[in-house]
Structure 1
């Protein structure tokens, strides 16, 4: 199987072909996901909560992400691998370039960072230095202390307009992808339609080009509060492999996420 590239994702957007992605943190799950057809994997700083047991993503370091990125790359050599730049790892363009280089050397194909137009110069510098960038707007978990919790973003017209302006600015600066988290479906549609680059949603309805879930949420491994925008795809399936196939099928058909998993 040929490696998945950013060119493939752009072609899928142009063709109206929806695609499914998942987080992965180790060799075994990365290999399983790739074998069942997940072509894009994210080493998210969500590992701070799902793997390390913290109550937020803030304790995660670049070294943590690099370690897990190398493991995922060995498990899924043909996948398109995204790696998060964690909290305060991109405070300055110079710092960002050094940290991005570490993640790319560990096996990432592109890096993801959270924030809007203020990151444009950083995105330009990374792109000029051969580091593709995925932006992340909406609910950005690294800003949990600013938001005062994990809350839906872009509900009023001014906030929605600002988010769309940020998305367009990131694209103009060179971003190759955008993750849109926890926003109303109508806003997700506006952003997806306005951008030429693919938009991957989580809690953004079924109108985006792709979907992503934290693997622990997708297979019912999350304890405590279960976010509205998640679903246990293992329910009714004989094993995790079948659950991955069910997830892919629902994303490609546009039936996931359904209205009850989305914000209006």
Structure 2
């Protein structure tokens, strides 16, 4: 084994995240590009290359059209930009549902080509076996229960889940099954606060909430939502910046300077040397 160290900084790994259960909350944001990953890396324990990239970056109406190649491309970018945070890449719709063998092959390809530390799957009743199959073969897996964006066509939209009845119990069972299958953490999205707390109490691995509860073991938001890049955001988003406004103001100032021939000025142009 070579003694050459490629990374001077040790990245956060799945066991580190699992060990945070019930301790200091885990900080997670989405990242899709190298420059943003570099900025977020100092502040996050975990960077999620979410299939939300399809909507946020590529303008798709939902995540169903996201491909394995898109996830690999953005996973590579985030790995280049970050150094210490754990990087988890979403497995896109259609890449893991057919069988555990198909899921493993696609997950292994994503991890080989990106260098990411784990994958994430939306955990329905049929997925626990797939999680177990992948984990036993060396692939750390994060589960995702509650509102599952890849099921948007079945659900008829992005709707909060688990407010009562059979659906509540099913989500609880999905979370328990994911944890027992070997998932190192479970994202809990868009569920009633009480259910999120109950899931956090009954499963042995950390829960990462999004539109869930402050009682979860960690939180994740789509970075572009949190940064205020969109006019509309879900109820559960808190805006920490207004980048849409800042970008618009900067573009307007630039346009005004170009039209008035104030840009480029002497500081931004090259001059021939005398003689």
**Shorter-chain TM-score above 0.5:** yes
Alignment-derived partner of residue 233 in structure 2: 226
Report deviation, 1:228: 0.2
| Aligned with residue 29 of structure 1, among 18, 22, 36 | 36
Alignment-derived partner of residue 200 in structure 1: 208
| Aligned with residue 178 of structure 2, among 160, 170, 179 | 170
1:229 and 1:145 map into 2 onto residues whose CA distance is 22
Q: Could you list the runs of 4 or more consecutive aligned residues of structure 1 that deviate by over 3 angstroms after TM superposition?
A: none
Residues 1:141 and 2:146 are matched in the alignment: no
Residues 1:19 and 2:26 are matched in the alignment: yes
1:130 and 1:65 map into 2 onto residues whose CA distance is 20
2:17 and 2:131 map into 1 onto residues whose CA distance is 19
Report deviation, 1:19: 1.9
RMSD of aligned residue pairs (Cα, Å) = 1.5
Higher relative contact order (CA 8 A, sep 6+): 1
Where 1:31 maps in the other structure, the secondary structure is: helix
Residues 1:39 and 2:11 are matched in the alignment: no
Residues 1:66 and 2:83 are matched in the alignment: no
CA contact (8 A) 1:117 1:170 kept: no
Alignment-derived partner of residue 10 in structure 1: 18
| Aligned with residue 125 of structure 2, among 117, 120, 123 | 117
Where 2:27 maps in the other structure, the secondary structure is: strand
Alignment-derived partner of residue 102 in structure 1: 109
1:79 and 1:103 map into 2 onto residues whose CA distance is 18
Deviation string 1:32-78 (CA, Å, 9 cap, x unpaired) is: 1013x212000000000000011101111011001110110111122
Deviation string 1:180-207 (CA, Å, 9 cap, x unpaired) is: 1000000000000111101001000211
Deviation string 1:10-38 (CA, Å, 9 cap, x unpaired) is: 23224x21121100001101011013x21
Of the two, which has the highest radius of gyration?
Answer: 2
| Aligned with residue 51 of structure 1, among 42, 57, 64 | 57
Deviation string 1:154-185 (CA, Å, 9 cap, x unpaired) is: 01132111111111111111111100100000
TM-score (norm 1): 0.85
Where 1:142 maps in the other structure, the secondary structure is: helix
1:132 and 1:11 map into 2 onto residues whose CA distance is 14
What 5-or-longer segments of structure 1 have no aligned partner? 240-264
2:128 and 2:191 map into 1 onto residues whose CA distance is 22
What 5-or-longer segments of structure 2 have no aligned partner? 1-8, 247-275
Residues 1:93 and 2:100 are matched in the alignment: yes
TM-score (norm 2): 0.82
Where 1:153 maps in the other structure, the secondary structure is: coil
Alignment-derived partner of residue 246 in structure 1: none
CA contact (8 A) 1:183 1:204 kept: yes
Report deviation, 1:8: 2.0
Please identify, of 169-178 and 43-52, the stretch whose mean Cα deviation from structure 2 is larger.
169-178
